[in-house]
Structure 1
Amino acid sequence: MTVPHPAAGPAAVHIRWFTVPPPGAETAAAERLLDPRQRERAARLRRPLSRHRKVLAHAALRVLLAERLGGEPGEFELGRAACPQCGGPHGRPFVAGARGFEFSMAHTGDEAVYAFSAEPVGVDVESGRVGARTVRTVARWLPPGRRAVLDALPEAERSEAFARLWVHTEALAKGRGTGLAHGFGAVASARPPWRLVDLPAPDGLVAALAVTARDASAVPRPEGGRLPAASVVEAAGRIRGSGATARAWHDSEPASGNGGRAHDARA
């Protein structure tokens, strides 16, 4: 499917949040919006609540794609680009036919976050409360510079600091298209330079955005909003029933307080 859409400025980054509603009849309906591979991945999850959250989060992605690119939520053909490091099929996600359109998504618990841009982008969200044992174990895998920052903090501050370091690392790995398949060292040596932005997140969560930085002095200012908490199936139905071409993807509604602190990804 070829999806025409206008280009956006290189600094335009749009963030949308979605709160997964409680399990109910809409789960099966939302699943029909997914492609076979998405349904198969959801079916692998043993816990019904985990399957429900994954189905709704990915159905919400399709609703947001329909808002930005036009068309039906269930029509989009999604794929993965080649990994820039090994050539494997686990690189950045893409929408077939939508050139110059990049997106990333992440979800934890009932919250999902989505990033859309004309440039490569990565986003991640995690709980800000991480157990001390997990921090001690996983911190050993972090790049030396980031591990040193964590080790220098008082014990009481390490949980949230670790969570922020983790979302920075995940967001950067997603933006580069390598994931964590090649270890943290591959992420730490990212080139060209990237910028990391701490995103405002719901209580108890931390989130970060990774974007390419053409101008090292520029601070990315993400804009966006929240997908209404109403059923994703209802939202998809509204898009199907409108009969009109959806808004251009770069014209998303503004959200209050969506600034963020920027970081050099090489720090």
Structure 2
Amino acid sequence: MNKGAPLDGGTPGRSLGEGQRGVSTGIPRVGAGECHVWFAEAVGAVRVPGLLELLDDRELARHDAFAREQDRALYLTAHALAREVVAEQLGMGPREVRFVLECRHCDRPEPHGKPGLAGSPLELSLSHSGSRVAVALSLAGPVGVDLEEIAAGDRAAELAPAVLSTAERAALERLPEAERAAGFTRYWARKEAVLKATGDGLMVEPARLTVSAPEEPAALLAWDDRKEPHLPVRLQDVDPGTGYRAAVAVLGAECTVVRHDAAYGGDGTLYRPRPQ
């Protein structure tokens, strides 16, 4: 991938100082009626310690709790990228961004659930899988993004009964065997995107939702025991790169989805996202 120009407008390889991060105009602003989705490869905390400085205490604790280095890298990249793109929208530094977590299903005292931004109309969603991360921002309504590495065939077959509705399982069986793992992953990403947007998450069984077949345009077709979420669901597939499937759901009016690729240099420089 051609990384393009570093966000500070300087030479590639120079990282932004703490006071510079988030004040560049290199990150595009999210317009009314838009949803922007950024994809990036995960970077390691050991290679890019400057990104750890962007996280707050809660995020650092969660980051450090992961046993696997790859899980730490995914978490770090997703949350650092979210802070940098949000900071540009709000005109502040990444460390000044304050995320809130809201759960619709319980009153546990520790923060958890769907991420949001206090006092801002921006809606936020994050996802990661394999070695890639996704961050979605929207002014059009509550948003959910899901990124999934294509499941192995045996894993897809194992999960299908718990994830897919009866109609979806029948449609998956009609696909050539070689396409079923990717087809299952398409279903999974679409359902997760919807459940993230509504704030239900996996407290709702994915099999209760029926979405369109993998080869058809993304759409929510049915939701057992619920006539419809509180707002219309606008569901769209987004290309995350080879070996992955991704979808984004926005609740409310029709909106335009704008896709970006971002990349981090070895010192933490965030290279300009490019619209697709």
SS in 2 for 1:227: strand
Structure 2 equivalent of residue 181 of structure 1: 203
Answer yes or no: is the 8 Å Cα contact 1:199–1:208 preserved in 2.
yes
Task: Decide whether aligned partners of structure 1 residues 253 and 19 sit closer, same or farther in structure 2, where only a CA change above 3 A counts.
Answer: closer
Answer yes or no: is the 8 Å Cα contact 2:50–2:267 preserved in 1.
no
Task: Decide whether aligned partners of structure 1 residues 155 and 24 sit closer, same or farther in structure 2, where only a CA change above 3 A counts.
Answer: same
1:94 correspondence with 2:116: yes
Task: Decide whether aligned partners of structure 1 residues 78 and 205 sit closer, same or farther in structure 2, where only a CA change above 3 A counts.
Answer: same
Structure 2 equivalent of residue 63 of structure 1: 84
Q: Percent identical across equivalent pairs?
A: 29
Task: Tell me, in whole angstroms, the C-alpha distance in 2 between the residues paired with 1:59 and 1:86.
Answer: 28
Normalising by structure 2, what TM-score? Answer: 0.72
Structure 1 equivalent of residue 260 of structure 2: 225
Normalising by structure 1, what TM-score? Answer: 0.75
Q: Aligned-pair RMSD on alpha carbons? A: 2.7
Task: Tell me, in whole angstroms, the C-alpha distance in 1 between the residues paired with 2:82 and 2:117.
Answer: 11
Structure 1 equivalent of residue 238 of structure 2: 199
SS in 2 for 1:173: helix
Paired residue total? 227
Gaps of 5+ in 1: 1-5, 239-251, 257-267
1:209 correspondence with 2:244: no
Structure 2 equivalent of residue 249 of structure 1: none
1:54 correspondence with 2:51: no
Answer yes or no: is the 8 Å Cα contact 2:45–2:51 preserved in 1.
no
Which aligned segments of 4 or more residues in structure 1 are displaced greater than 3 angstroms? 21-25, 85-91, 185-188, 231-235
Answer yes or no: is the 8 Å Cα contact 1:76–1:96 preserved in 2.
no
Shift of 1:86: 5.8
Aligned equivalent of 1:36, options 57, 64, 76: 57
For residues 96-148 of structure 1, the C-alpha deviation after alignment (integer angstroms, 9 at most, x for no partner) is: 222x11011111233211111111111111112x2222112111112223222
Deviates more, 1:192-201 or 1:115-124: 192-201
Answer yes or no: is the 8 Å Cα contact 1:170–1:179 preserved in 2.
yes
Task: Decide whether aligned partners of structure 1 residues 253 and 32 sit closer, same or farther in structure 2, where only a CA change above 3 A counts.
Answer: closer
Kindly indicate which of the two structures has a greater share of residues assigned to strand: 2
Gaps of 5+ in 2: 1-28, 211-222
Deviates more, 1:222-231 or 1:66-75: 222-231
